[in-house]
Structure 1
Amino acid sequence: MNIKKLCLTRPLSDIEVIIERKSVKKIRLKVFPNGIVKLSAPLGVPDTCISDFLKSKTKWIEKSLNYFKDTWAIESEARIQNGASTRVLGRQIRIIVNKAKTYKIEQKEGCVYIQSPAAGDKQALIKQFERWWQKQSRSYFLVVIDKFYPVIAKHDIDRPALQVRKMKTLWGSCSRKHGKINLNYYLYKAPPPCIDYVVLHELTHFLYPKHNKDFYEFLTVHMPDWQERKRILDHEIVKGLGY
């Protein structure tokens, strides 16, 4: 892996692009909400081709970075407060905060109701909400793993453990050595079909560690529309990362 600097227009100025060479068929470029720009290239592609590709995508990179910058400015102001909204399983949900004697959060009828003795303390609300989100997302992800685990169980693969954590550039990852799947804390914002895709993708890695022909053929057999689900994640849901 190496890093290349790309000259953009002001106020963006120069931007660092993380370049990874791996076993992929074509060059792939991603811009993440935190400003990270990552390019994956086939092992044999010359540096000149990578440079030319990045130059051809300069305007798209600038547009994406500006979008995320504007979106984050709006979301960082809203965060967790009365009247703000977030997305849960692909649906926009309104946040209602009420002062109460005890801490409680429940979701019903298109709203998340937060009860707290510290209703005016933004940091306290964020911590309370994050604990709830962690618990809710984990419970949901475990159900999805239960649904798709039989696909690999017949290949004598033990059921993997689950860890939910905040990740900047990945929806999920897995460790075959430790028998564990890591899922992004923010994946709970995505529609159920997209979460299904990420879970099946990671489970498939227990059979095929690399993104090779066998991996994609297995994935396609069990989820023929996985590419559309991935597109929604990478081009729509990723724009809403953060609350």
Structure 2
Amino acid sequence: METVVLPDATVIEYELIYKKVKNMTLRIRPDGTVTVTVNRRVSQKRAEEFVREHAAWLQKRRQLADTRRQIGLPERLEQDTQVLWLGTEYRVAWNYPAAPAVELYGDLAVVSMPDPSAEFAAKVYRDWYQAQSERVLTDALDRVFPHFEPLGLCRPRLCLRYMTSRWGSCSYHKGKITLNRYLCQLPPALIDVVTAHELAHFFHPDHSPAFYRLLEQVFPGYRETAAQLKEYFIL
């Protein structure tokens, strides 16, 4: 780990990662550690300057993380740690030796794997999450779209991505919406709210009063439910 000491004596530790990338990137992992990814031509001194330049952003993100529930996927998954799925926290338990799988029992997320490893457990969980998110977000569109279909909307194409700055987006000119796979960590009602938000953009591409009137029409209590999204923080 590398270390940067700020003028106010704040210490920022970060992991320097070299990859074939065009731009330097700064990231906070779900466990709170900081990574800086750079091209091999970038010096350690320049990477340190990059961290200093973004120190205020880092501190702000950490403050947000302290007051909101953190959303993200683990790179290591130890036993007895917590994972969030559809608004419920599950305690991780390992099962080995066994074929890779994840099963939810009560308040447990049982991660099966051939050998005990926090890194391998995280990979098994991420693979399971990826597959399950297809079903969960498709089901959300199945639930919400019928509210808009009588208004003349054709069912849009659904795209899924991991995003850190938005829950979803609408490409109305292409007939598609994009939903954030991280939504699967939120309660189903919030997934539906985001889905409805993106479908409403086919009628109103802006956030005008007419846009919100439509949402309240098809999703009564939209504003109150959508406000709960502020309780979550994507790392």
Counterpart check, 1:123 vs 2:119: yes
Aligned counterpart in structure 2 of residue 162 of structure 1, from 143, 158, 162: 158
How many residues were matched structurally?
186
TM-score under structure 1 normalisation? 0.66
Aligned counterpart in structure 2 of residue 237 of structure 1, from 212, 217, 232: 232
Aligned to 1:80: 77
User: How does 1:136-175 map onto structure 2 within 5 Å?
Assistant: 136-175=132-171
User: How does 1:10-159 map onto structure 2 within 5 Å?
Assistant: 11=10, 64-68=60-64, 79-120=76-117, 122-159=118-155
For residues 69 and 146 of structure 1, do their structure 2 counterparts lie closer, same or farther at Cα, with a shift above 3 Å needed? closer
Q: Which amino acid aligns with 1:149?
A: F
Q: CA deviation at 1:158?
A: 1.9
For residues 105 and 143 of structure 1, do their structure 2 counterparts lie closer, same or farther at Cα, with a shift above 3 Å needed? same
Partner Cα separation in structure 2 for residue 212 and residue 68 of structure 1: 28
**Preserved CA contact (<8 Å) 1:80 1:126:** yes
**Preserved CA contact (<8 Å) 2:75 2:123:** no
Partner Cα separation in structure 2 for residue 133 and residue 149 of structure 1: 24
Unpaired segments of 5 or more residues in structure 1? 1-8, 13-32, 35-60
Residue aligned with 1:154, SS: helix
| RMSD over aligned Cα atoms | 3.3
For residues 69 and 87 of structure 1, do their structure 2 counterparts lie closer, same or farther at Cα, with a shift above 3 Å needed? closer
Unpaired segments of 5 or more residues in structure 2? 1-7, 12-26, 29-56
Partner Cα separation in structure 2 for residue 94 and residue 205 of structure 1: 38
Partner Cα separation in structure 1 for residue 116 and residue 59 of structure 2: 37
Q: CA deviation at 1:83?
A: 0.8
Which stretch shifts more, 153-162 or 76-85?
76-85
Partner Cα separation in structure 1 for residue 74 and residue 95 of structure 2: 19
Q: Which amino acid aligns with 1:92?
A: E
**Preserved CA contact (<8 Å) 2:73 2:126:** no
**Preserved CA contact (<8 Å) 2:91 2:107:** yes
Partner Cα separation in structure 2 for residue 76 and residue 158 of structure 1: 33
Aligned counterpart in structure 1 of residue 221 of structure 2, from 193, 209, 225: 225
**Preserved CA contact (<8 Å) 2:167 2:180:** yes
For residues 101 and 90 of structure 1, do their structure 2 counterparts lie closer, same or farther at Cα, with a shift above 3 Å needed? closer
Partner Cα separation in structure 1 for residue 137 and residue 195 of structure 2: 8
Q: CA deviation at 1:186?
A: 1.2
Q: CA deviation at 1:65?
A: 3.4
Q: Which amino acid aligns with 2:123?
A: K
Q: Describe the superposition over 1:211-234 as per-residue Cα deviations: whole angstroms up to 9, x where unpaired.
A: 112111101112232222222112
